[in-house]
């Protein structure tokens, strides 16, 4: 049987403890599952590879009403691919797979390199640069340029602020969340305008670009996406790319804390580059959990899951599960040299299969963008990291080093200068 917490409601504890809420209680109870109440509603919390496979395979859960509106409206919004199930979900997801994988992933990394190098002289003149803010703007330029979206300098500033707020304030309540949702509404109006202009022939965009594909997409019934839905999905292409700025900061932090990797990559040795990227993704606090509601009743570990029950899967805790990752708090990219690629153990952006399940279709692109960012951090620029607060609070959702990782003394490095 699945044990139950004695507290009448765990909402405040979840907000207070953040990423460690589920795993702490699993450890204390000696169980990978427990029952509780969140916002006065029953919920079951799960952790581990077996739980990840249960959650992502077999069509047992859907995302309808799984997250509070304060989170859903910021990260996905109504009518998005994440709110669909079955054939409708797979058909809509094919659109994302078309633009996010294959040559699209390679093209976006090339754009990132160009935009990053273009920004370095500005960072040099600025003197003091908060890496999270700076890379958010670079990735906004990268995402929109790659997606075929025309942008003025003002557009970049506005969209960078809006796309960042969708992620930065997803874990907040009250006025901060309301303001972020107002920014999201402004972004959606902008995105709807782009789709409308493309469909009316008023805006020409490159064939095969994300904007062109989204504007022309037809769902399974053969009808064009509604303009509001197309606007939402365009943002759901752009926003995750901009969100990679958080991983870039954690990669920079890992390079600072483990300088031998800085030296290795600066010298051009990429043997463990993707392992480094995956280890950053494994250890860093990104998505804390994913939620779903039972769509068809089933029994697991002696417990009956009724239709409509809310279930939370601990992504962060699964990535730090010592049974799956020996010495989970130790940063060791070498662990991925012999890793078999189990889709239910490394789950920072969800688990399961890219095409059929709700695993993030942008995960391969995220890895390539991170790898390119590590190359740029170690080979295209020199910088200094002064005294600052680099602590990471796991109660902040989503988390970042407290001072955002401030660098100064930025200098561009000519090609070949580091390897001599």
pLDDT digits (tens, 9 = 90+) for 35-72: 999 988 999 999 999 999 999 988 898 877 777 777 76
Does residue 74 carry a pLDDT above 50? yes
Specify if 371 maps to a domain.
yes
**Other Cβ atoms closer than 10 A to 402:** 13
Helices (H), 76-130: 86-100, 103-126
Specify if 418 maps to a domain.
no
Specify if 299 maps to a domain.
yes
* Angle subtended by helix axes 153-168 and 175-199, to nearest 10: 130
Compute CA distances 68 → 65, 77, 140, 418, whole Å.
7, 11, 27, 49
d(CA 282, CA 280): 5
Compute CA distances 55 → 51, 62, 310, 322, 362, whole Å.
6, 10, 11, 20, 20
Residue 45: φ, ψ to 5° = -105, 135
**Pairing of the two strands 310-314 and 41-47:** parallel
Report pLDDT for 170.
81
If you average pLDDT over every residue of the chain, what do you get?
91
Residues 6+ apart with CB under 8 A from 50: 32, 344
108-155 confidence digits (pLDDT tens):
999 999 999 999 999 999 999 999 999 999 999 999 999 999 999 999
Q: What angle do CA 305, 343, 88 make, to 5 degrees?
A: 65
HSE-CB at 393 with a 13 A cutoff on CA atoms is 10
Domains: count for the chain: 1
Report pLDDT for 362.
82
354-413 confidence digits (pLDDT tens):
666 666 778 889 999 999 999 999 999 999 998 999 999 999 999 999 999 999 999 999
Q: Name the token pair of 53.
A: 């496979």
Assign residue 133 the CATH number of its domain.
1.10.630.10
Report pLDDT for 419.
47
Query: Dihedral sign, CA of 215, 217, 219, 223?
Result: positive
Specify if 165 maps to a domain.
yes
Residues 6+ apart with CB under 8 A from 334: 272, 275
Judge whether 56 and 358 are in contact, CB under 8 Å: yes
282-328 confidence digits (pLDDT tens):
999 999 999 999 999 999 999 999 999 999 999 999 999 999 999 99
Compute CA distances 331 → 21, 250, 324, 336, whole Å.
22, 12, 14, 11
Specify if 215 maps to a domain.
yes
Specify if 208 maps to a domain.
yes
Please give the share of the chain, as a percent, with pLDDT higher than 70: 92
- CA neighbor of 333 nearest in space, from 383, 370, 377: 370
- CA neighbor of 253 nearest in space, from 368, 132, 151: 132
Report pLDDT for 85.
66
- What is the mean pLDDT of the segment spanning 233-255? 96
d(CA 170, CA 147): 24
Most confident of 76-90, 143-157, 176-190: 143-157
Does residue 420 carry a pLDDT above 50? no
Helices (H), 200-257: 210-216, 227-257
Specify if 2 maps to a domain.
no
Specify if 77 maps to a domain.
yes
Percent composition of the chain: helix, strand, coil (DSSP 3-state, to 5) = 50, 15, 35
Judge whether 66 and 218 are in contact, CB under 8 Å: no
Compute CA distances 212 → 51, 221, 230, 361, whole Å.
38, 20, 11, 18
d(CA 247, CA 400): 9
Q: Which domain holds residue 49?
A: 11-412
């Amino acid at each position: 049987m699945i044990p139950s917490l004695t507290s009448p409601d765990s909402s405040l504890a979840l907000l207070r403890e953040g990423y460690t809420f589920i795993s702490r209680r699993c450890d204390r109870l000696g169980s990978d599952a427990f029952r509780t109440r969140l916002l006065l509603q029953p919920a079951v919390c799960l952790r581990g590879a077996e739980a990840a496979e249960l959650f992502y395979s077999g069509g047992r859960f859907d995302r309808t009403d799984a997250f509070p509106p304060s989170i859903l409206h910021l990260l996905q919004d109504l009518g998005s691919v994440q709110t669909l199930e079955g054939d409708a979900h797979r058909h809509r997801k094919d659109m994302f797979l078309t633009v996010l994988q294959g040559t699209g992933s390679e093209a976006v990394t090339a754009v990132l390199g160009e935009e990053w190098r273009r920004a370095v002289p500005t960072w040099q003149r600025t003197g003091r640069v908060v890496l999270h803010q700076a890379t958010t703007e670079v990735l906004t330029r990268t995402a929109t340029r790659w997606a075929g979206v025309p942008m003025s300098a003002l557009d970049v500033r506005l969209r960078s602020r809006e796309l960042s707020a969708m992620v930065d304030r997803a874990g907040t309540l009250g006025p901060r969340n309301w303001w972020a949702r107002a920014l999201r509404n402004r972004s959606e109006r902008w995105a709807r305008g782009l789709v409308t202009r493309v469909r009316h022939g008023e805006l020409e965009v490159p064939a095969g670009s994300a904007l062109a594909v989204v504007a022309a997409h037809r769902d399974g019934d053969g009808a064009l996406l509604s303009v509001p839905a197309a606007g939402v999905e365009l943002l759901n292409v752009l926003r995750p790319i901009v969100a990679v700025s958080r991983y870039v900061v954690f990669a920079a932090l890992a390079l600072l804390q483990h300088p031998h990797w800085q030296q290795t990559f600066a010298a051009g040795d990429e043997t463990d580059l993707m392992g480094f990227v995956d280890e950053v993704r494994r250890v860093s606090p990104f998505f804390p959990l994913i939620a779903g509601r039972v769509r068809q009743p089933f029994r697991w570990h002696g417990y009956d899951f009724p239709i409509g029950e809310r279930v939370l899967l601990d992504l962060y805790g699964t990535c730090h599960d010592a049974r799956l990752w020996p010495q989970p708090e130790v940063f060791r990219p070498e662990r991925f040299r012999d890793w078999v690629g189990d889709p239910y153990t490394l789950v920072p952006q969800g688990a399961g299969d890219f095409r059929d399940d709700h695993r993030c279709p942008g995960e391969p692109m995220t890895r390539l963008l991170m790898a390119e960012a590590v190359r740029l951090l170690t080979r295209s620029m020199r910088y200094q990291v002064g005294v600052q607060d680099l602590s990471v609070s796991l109660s902040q959702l989503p988390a970042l080093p407290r001072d955002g990782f401030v660098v100064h003394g930025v200098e561009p490095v000519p090609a070949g200068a580091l390897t001599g």
